[in-house]
């Protein structure tokens, strides 16, 4: 083997072993959130700290920098979309980012994040924003330092966004989200003024938990989540994680008196899981075996949850089974009433309770506010008022309190700046990809109505999942749909579905 | 802080961090045996390999040897039963053992163990001992090398026994087990000839699994297993592990048509768990926070399973609840008939199906045979015949095949030589400790009949659990019971209980 090939092999072995340790970290996290006895939380934190210390040390080893410099200049990196090219490029990107952050800043960010999350709990419970404010100011100052240390193309926010949506630019996202806002705010108003609304109470009837679980498993398996290579468990705040190439774990939570929470939650997490299960197992732990971005990951969950799971054709197939499973709750409910209920649009002050359409306005508000905070255009003291003003303008609602307003999300307290827009990017990508799949596969609705979901899953696997990180999110969308990211597909989808439901 | 104190602190921090990594290994093992999707087993092996490599490297770091040499000669090690004395002594013992084994031998042992276990599966399924024989010969040769590398007091077997029962000598165990055999073989014969036997079929009636689980949890909690610091889950081959000081996980398995398996299995594992939960949490990962030996660990499980769980007074308390839980199966069964059934003594060729009394003869056979194999007094080719001959002499039974005979256990194929006697040591220690507790606490039977198990748990916690590894197993038994290990308490217990049941 030529020396450069041997060096590349050495790099891959090193990264793969780091990946093994990261996968153990995933399992510790999963276990903590699903099973861990409460009294064991403190020692679990010790386990996470020791392990992440070992991982960080491996990821910032100076010899790794030497290897990457040599390999980046070699013919193995010439084609950026080749296996070796993508691997070297992405590992170098991660390495360069990591070594630019001073150890003291990393530690300060971690400590402030832990303290911020604790302070958030108390502030939210006591409806006391002032209690959180000093830590939030500190967090913002640290995030500025982080952005300055890693560097950015146009603005500080770019540096933070890049952690979740590699290569994406704030100005670009802002443009697309502004287009979306300009059409979404009027749509929401039209719906409000339509005078129509479904009977949502039918989703709040009695749905026995064990039947919900069996039904959820059946639906998740039907859309392509492979239970031989995964699990479904119960947790308080549902998530998906893959602590191994053939070990994808999705989670949900059940309420006896609510149908939508568990079912659409399961579809959402199964969408994430189907992506993880579609990544090339042989490259697990290396860039070609990992998800390309948070936005693309979210697109997969939103696609199965909303574009598929809230479509009429999906329920043409599954509704008879649902009625059989829940005869008490759904026996007397017509499909159209059920379909309208699961697509109810109703502005709410709470993001996680919002619907497919207005959800994006919640994200927009956060995206605009966090940029202003970071750039110093908005002070922490003025944040609650700014929050409420945006909710009035975009959604026409007024939070009853800061707890139901600016304090509702943990993200900022945990230092997650730049994360929110990936939720809306997910919705945008999902609609754009779905519209293309519909064209390519010749009418998905008919397939869904016949219970055929495999063509769509296989299409996504080929176009997205199998690619790992060989292309950027923007490249994938351009390549697969022939167009750059835009608000049009999402608006087309929402206008189409909601237009006929609300007769607007 | 004086330099030697600082060095001791450094040693403890190092060991504690290694303990953190070992605890993660425990969690990986638990997850593998309880939850892991089958397809994920291979990557789990990679995770275990990477982690155990990191642990091994830490445990054999040369600087550790320097620290230990300096500390062992310091005043901190002067009192071997002090916290620092025990810590230094035990860590030095473990370190010295580890560095004496050449890396090539460690790897060869691991590889042969994996291959041996695979070959065992096939050999057992096909009833073909010859297929396993070559690997078994290789394993024995490697175990001899291991014993020669680590050194021993009197015989090679001492070196292997020391891995599971630190400081114990083969000659000593052999003496006690011979005493036991000399009384147990006649007792088993008397029982066979008594003409009496209980109706065991009542334990094979229908016991709904969910009710078994609820009843098992109730009983485990009643004897002192703390579910706030632990879990009970389902697995194929039950075990107990503690991946944290407040995270003890016991497991069991349920059969709808068998009461004893899950219930006594749960009591057994809860006994292990109560020991783990009683170890000083503040020393978790250091010798004063760890179990003293396999034999003592087993004594705790056997004590709760047999001495408590198969006693008449235990069921005087729990039988009404059992009848209420299983009205179909136990409604018409008198307590005495139930009590006789769970104490049935019946020689069997299968160890794991055997009863409280004859179980020890199964162990004796293995203990004698593995010594002979190791010393070269018995060839692998002659093993099946020797096995059958001992079963004829000690138990009066003849295995139907090698699969039900010499191939029934995985231990030897996995390289576990020196492990078997700890099962009988557990029974011996359990009886001896129980007899002393009965004296100290003034009649346990009356307490059990009133549902009072806390005095016994607290007594065990003070005398055994809280001590960690500050004393050896032999020292603990001598100190707590005022006498060295002996067969008398176990024989007294068996003669007493079985004498009245079988009227002999």
Q: Do A244 and B35 touch (CB under 8 A)?
A: no
Predicted pLDDT of residue B197: 95
Nearest CA in chain A to B30: A31
- pLDDT tens readout for residues A195-215: 999 999 999 999 999 999 999
Predicted pLDDT of residue A438: 98
Does residue B38 register a pLDDT over 90? no
Q: Do B228 and A51 touch (CB under 8 A)?
A: no
- pLDDT tens readout for residues A232-264: 999 988 999 999 999 999 999 999 999 999 999
> Closest Cα of chain B to A291: distance in Å?
19
Best B49, B244, B251, B282 member to test A by mutation, with max A CBs in 10 Å, is B244
Predicted pLDDT of residue A475: 96
Q: Do B39 and A228 touch (CB under 8 A)?
A: yes
Does residue A162 register a pLDDT over 80? yes
Greatest pairwise CA separation for chain B in angstroms: 73
8 A C-beta contact, residue B472 and residue B425:
no
CA–CA distance, A145 with B454 (Å, rounded to integer): 57
- pLDDT tens readout for residues B363-389: 999 999 999 999 999 999 999 999 999
Q: Do B40 and A228 touch (CB under 8 A)?
A: no
> Closest Cα of chain B to A281: distance in Å?
10
- Please name the member of A37, A43, A46 whose beta carbon is closest to the beta carbon of B230: A37
CA–CA distance, B205 with B341 (Å, rounded to integer): 13
Q: What DSSP designation does A257 have?
A: T
> Closest Cα of chain A to B31: distance in Å?
9
Predicted pLDDT of residue A79: 95
CA–CA distance, A398 with B274 (Å, rounded to integer): 54
Q: Please list the active-site residues of B.
A: 269
Does residue B1 register a pLDDT over 80? no
Average pLDDT of chain B to the nearest whole number:
96
Predicted pLDDT of residue A28: 96
Predicted pLDDT of residue B285: 97
Mean pLDDT of B144-150: 97
Average pLDDT of chain A to the nearest whole number:
96
Does residue B33 register a pLDDT over 80? yes
Mean pLDDT of A347-369: 95
Nearest CA in chain A to B53: A17
DSSP, residue by residue, B272-333: HHHHHHHS-GGGTTSGGGS-S-HHHHHHHHHIIIIIITTSHHHHHHHHHHHHHH-HHHHTT-
Q: Do B43 and A230 touch (CB under 8 A)?
A: no
* Token pair listed for B241: 């592990």
CA–CA distance, B470 with B71 (Å, rounded to integer): 17
- Chain B residues with CB under 8 Å of A24 CB are 24, 28, 47, 51
Calculate helix-pair angle for B473-481, B294-302, nearest 10 degrees: 50
Choose the weakest-confidence range: A215-224, B110-119, B321-330. B110-119
Mean pLDDT of A3-25: 97
Predicted pLDDT of residue A395: 92
Q: Do A23 and B47 touch (CB under 8 A)?
A: yes
CA–CA distance, A340 with A349 (Å, rounded to integer): 21
- pLDDT tens readout for residues A21-60: 999 999 999 999 999 998 999 999 899 999 999 999 999 9
Mean pLDDT of B55-61: 95
Predicted pLDDT of residue B103: 87
Nearest CA in chain B to A51: B21
Question: Partners of A251 in the beta sheet?
Answer: A233
Q: To which H or E segment does residue B248 belong?
A: strand B248-252
Contacts of A332 (CB under 8 A, 6+ apart): none
Q: Do A247 and B36 touch (CB under 8 A)?
A: yes
- pLDDT tens readout for residues A395-437: 999 999 999 999 999 999 999 999 999 999 999 999 999 999 9
Predicted pLDDT of residue A114: 86
Residue B2: band (very low, low, confident or very high) from pLDDT cuts 50, 70, 90: confident
Q: Which of A269, A298, A368, A370 is catalytic?
A: A269
Residue A356: band (very low, low, confident or very high) from pLDDT cuts 50, 70, 90: very high
- pLDDT tens readout for residues A453-485: 999 999 999 999 999 999 999 999 999 999 999
Question: H helices within A126-225, ranges in order?
Answer: 129-150, 156-164, 170-193, 209-223
Nearest CA in chain A to B285: A43
Q: How many residues does chain A have?
A: 504
Mean pLDDT of A486-503: 97
Reported pTM: 0.94
- pLDDT tens readout for residues A375-406: 999 999 999 999 999 999 999 999 999 999 99
> Closest Cα of chain A to B227: distance in Å?
8
Residue A2: band (very low, low, confident or very high) from pLDDT cuts 50, 70, 90: confident
Calculate helix-pair angle for A359-375, A170-193, nearest 10 degrees: 140
8 A C-beta contact, residue A164 and residue A295:
yes
Does residue A1 register a pLDDT over 80? no
Q: Do B246 and A39 touch (CB under 8 A)?
A: yes
CA-to-CA separations, A275 to A268, B82, B162, in angstroms, rounded = 11, 56, 50
- pLDDT tens readout for residues B268-288: 999 999 999 999 999 999 999
CA–CA distance, B92 with B67 (Å, rounded to integer): 9
Q: How many residues does chain B have?
A: 504
8 A C-beta contact, residue B266 and residue B252:
yes
Question: Partners of B251 in the beta sheet?
Answer: B233
Does residue B105 register a pLDDT over 90? yes
- Chain B residues with CB under 8 Å of A44 CB are 244, 247
- Please name the member of B40, B44, B246 whose beta carbon is closest to the beta carbon of A40: B246
8 A C-beta contact, residue A240 and residue A248:
yes
8 A C-beta contact, residue A493 and residue A307:
yes
Measured at the CA of B192, the angle between CA B186 and CA B193, to 5 degrees, comes to 90
- What proportion of chain B, given as a percentage, has pLDDT over 90? 95
Predicted pLDDT of residue A238: 92
- Chain A residues with CB under 8 Å of B22 CB are none
Q: What DSSP designation does A276 have?
A: H
Q: State the ipTM, two decimals.
A: 0.93
Residue B114: band (very low, low, confident or very high) from pLDDT cuts 50, 70, 90: confident
3-state secondary structure of B249: strand
- What proportion of chain A, given as a percentage, has pLDDT over 70? 100
Q: Do B39 and A247 touch (CB under 8 A)?
A: yes
Q: For chain A, what is the total number of helices (H) and then of strands (E)?
A: 21, 3
Mean pLDDT of B173-189: 95
Each as own residue / partner, the long-range contacts of residues A494-501 (CB below 8 Å, 24 or more positions apart, any chain) are A494/A184, A494/A187, A494/A356, A494/A357, A495/A187, A497/A310, A497/A311, A497/A343, A498/A187, A498/A191, A498/A343, A498/A345, A498/A357, A501/A196, A501/A198, A501/A339, A501/A340, A501/A343
Best A13, A43, A51, A58 member to test B by mutation, with max B CBs in 10 Å, is A43
- pLDDT tens readout for residues B399-434: 999 999 999 999 999 999 999 999 999 999 999 999
């Amino acid at each position: 083997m030529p020396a450069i090939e041997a060096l590349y092999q050495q790099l891959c072995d090193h990264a793969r072993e780091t990946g093994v340790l990261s996968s153990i970290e995933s399992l510790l996290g999963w276990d903590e959130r699903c099973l861990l006895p409460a009294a064991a939380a403190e020692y679990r934190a010790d386990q996470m700290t020791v392990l992440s210390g070992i991982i960080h040390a491996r990821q910032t080893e100076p010899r790794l920098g030497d290897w990457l410099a040599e390999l980046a200049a070699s013919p193995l990196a010439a084609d950026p979309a080749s296996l070796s090219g993508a691997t070297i490029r992405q590992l170098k990107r991660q390495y360069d980012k990591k070594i630019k952050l001073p150890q003291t800043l990393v530690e300060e960010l971690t400590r402030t994040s832990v303290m911020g999350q604790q302070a958030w709990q108390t502030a939210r419970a006591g409806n006391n924003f002032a209690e959180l404010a000093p830590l939030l100011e500190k967090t913002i100052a640290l995030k500025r330092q982080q952005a300055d240390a890693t560097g950015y193309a146009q603005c500080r926010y770019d540096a933070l966004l890049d952690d979740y949506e590699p290569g994406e630019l704030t100005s670009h996202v802002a443009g697309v989200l502004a287009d979306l806002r300009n059409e979404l705010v009027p749509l929401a108003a039209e719906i409000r003024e339509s005078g129509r609304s479904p009977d949502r109470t039918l989703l709040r009837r009695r749905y026995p938990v064990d039947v919900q679980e069996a039904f959820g498993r059946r639906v998740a398996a039907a859309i392509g989540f492979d239970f031989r290579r995964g699990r479904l468990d119960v947790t308080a705040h549902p998530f998906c994680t893959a602590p191994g190439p053939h070990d994808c774990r999705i989670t949900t939570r059940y309420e006896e008196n609510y149908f939508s929470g568990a079912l659409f939650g399961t579809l959402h997490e199964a969408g994430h899981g189907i992506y993880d299960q579609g990544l090339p197992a042989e490259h697990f732990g290396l860039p070609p075996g990992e998800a390309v971005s948070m936005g693309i990951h979210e697109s997969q969950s939103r696609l199965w949850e909303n574009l598929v799971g809230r479509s009429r054709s999906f329920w043409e197939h599954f509704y008879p089974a649902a009625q059989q499973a829940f005869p008490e709750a759904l026996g007397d409910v017509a499909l159209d009433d059920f379909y309208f209920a699961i697509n109810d649009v109703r502005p709410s002050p709470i993001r996680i309770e919002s619907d497919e359409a207005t959800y994006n306005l919640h994200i927009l508000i956060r995206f605009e506010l966090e940029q202003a905070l970071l750039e110093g255009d908005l002070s922490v003291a003025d944040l609650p008022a700014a929050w409420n003003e945006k909710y009035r303008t975009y959604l026409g609602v007024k939070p009853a309190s800061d707890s139901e307003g600016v304090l509702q999300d943990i993200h900022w307290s945990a230092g997650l700046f730049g994360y929110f827009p990936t939720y809306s990017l997910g919705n945008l990508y999902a609609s754009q990809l779905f519209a293309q799949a519909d064209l390519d596969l010749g009418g998905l609705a008919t397939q869904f109505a016949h219970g055929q979901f495999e063509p769509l899953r296989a299409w996504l696997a080929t176009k997205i999942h199998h690619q790992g990180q060989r292309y950027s999110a923007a490249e994938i969308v351009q390549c697969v749909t022939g167009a750059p990211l835009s608000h049009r597909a999402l608006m087309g989808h929402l206008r189409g579905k909601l237009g006929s439901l609300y007769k607007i």
